Amino acid sequence: MLMRAVQTYLSVRRAAGFQLKDAGLLLHSFASYSDARHRRHIDARTAIEWARCGGSVVQRARRLGHVIRFARYLQAEERHHQIPPAVFGRENWPRRPPYILSDEQIRELIQVAAQSGYRTLRRQTYSTLFALLSCTGLRVSEAIRLRFSDITPDGLLIRQTKFCKSRLVPLHITARDALERYLRQRRSYEPFDDHVFISLRRKPLLIEDVDSAFRTAVSKMGLPRGRGQRRPTPHSLRHAFAVRALLNCPDGRDRITQHILMLSTYLGHSKPALTYWYLEAVPELMRSIAERCESYLAGRAP
């Protein structure tokens, strides 16, 4: 009954680039639950009963959310399908505020990383990696998967990362020069692996390796915790890049819209709404927005 509709729905959405691994498992579970009760169409009461099997309110909301999107898809062609109400509330909790590193803290972090550990390639690896994350806004997973062939004259080629997207990230001349200096030191390791950043084991870096090196540097710096007792992480370098880009946003509604869209594409976000989150997550940006609103309401140019 509904199982075949689930297969078709997942095929269509996956063809559009969505992976839907968890959604697929949940929708198959819902279809089995409905078929066992001889439901030929999506029934709101049955969907809510199935969603209630989730262990928490968020899990129940997420389970029901998948069914709601599935029901909307089916109802477009067959009105007998019911779209359940979102009785369990929102599917996701609000994102925690990011830890934003200042320019001075980033410079100190890179310097500390360049002096931590043995006098080996490890020092240059992590200092270069942290500097690259800071000046490009790359995700850690994207940076550690970089290969020599991904460094092109036009910038870094980021292949099939989150949301199955590929993109080209331009490099400032200073960033390119720093990367070239690192690669000259890295050259003796080339026969063993073609990843740009490697560990002392001559293997590609792992997320755990980067986290450990970052925590070591942060501990030596004595960085305080941020809002909500948030700790700095390697991803904080990406957050800092995004905030700097937004603080340098040009004036004018059309120019701001274009700037946000370009930044969203540059960061590899699936939608601009993920980039707009930084506006509400950083006090400095919220203060700037408030000041512009006050100017507008007072009849002055925002």
Which among 9, 126, 266, 278 is annotated as catalytic? 278
239 is catalytic: no
The answer for residues whose C-beta is within 8 angstroms of residue 201's C-beta and 6 or more apart is: none
Active-site residue (options: 99, 238, 239, 266) = 238
DSSP assignment, residue 155?
E
Catalytic status, residue 296: no
Which entry of 95, 162, 201, 227 is annotated as an active-site residue? 162
Q: Select which of 66, 139, 186, 195 is catalytic.
A: 139
CA distance 247 to 286: 11
238 is catalytic: yes
Annotated catalytic residue 201: no
Q: Is 21 a catalytic residue?
A: no
Q: Is 139 a catalytic residue?
A: yes
- Residue closest to 273 by CA, chosen among 263, 288, 285: 263
According to DSSP, residue 91 is labeled: S
Contacts of 7 (CB under 8 A, 6+ apart): none
Active-site residue identified among 14, 176, 235, 259: 235
The continuous run of DSSP H or E covering 167 comes out as strand 167-169
Return all residues near 281 (Cβ < 8 A) that are at least 6 apart: 95, 97, 98
Token readout for 13 is 């959405």
Q: Which two tokens stand for residue 184?
A: 């000259």
- Which residues, in sequence order, are CB contacts of 238 under 8 Å at separation 6+? 133, 137, 138, 139, 140, 267
Q: What letter does residue 98 receive in the DSSP assignment?
A: P
Q: Which residues are catalytic?
A: 139, 162, 235, 238, 269, 278
